[in-house]
A = this chain, B = another copy of it.
Amino acid sequence: MSLSIRNQIAGTVTDVATGGAMGSVKVSVEGGELTAAITKDAVEALGLASGTSVVALIKSTEISLAAA
């Protein structure tokens, strides 16, 4: 399937922290690190753990910009 989501960044999970409802997943990507906040269900459904290969998906309307 092709996604309308324009921003797709490959990376590797480096850390997962979960609470009662949500999970915070750190992903190392080329040039830095991303943090994704997804549901705990999703963390478990995808079996996310340190070392898992993932693609970060970011809708364009969710990206803001800062300029000097």
Total residues of chain A contacting the partner, CB 8 A: 54
> Are A67 and B17 in touch, CB under 8 angstroms?
no
Chain A interface SS verdict (over half): strand
Q: How far is the CA of A19 from the CA of B9 in the complex (A)?
A: 27
Pairwise interchain contact A64-B31, C-beta atoms closer than 8 A:
no
Show 27 residue pairs from A and B whose CB-CB distance is below 8 angstroms, ordered by the A residue. Answer: A1-B55, A2-B46, A2-B66, A3-B57, A3-B66, A4-B38, A4-B39, A4-B45, A6-B34, A6-B35, A8-B66, A9-B32, A20-B20, A21-B23, A22-B22, A25-B65, A31-B31, A37-B39, A38-B59, A38-B60, A38-B65, A42-B65, A52-B67, A56-B64, A57-B65, A57-B66, A59-B61
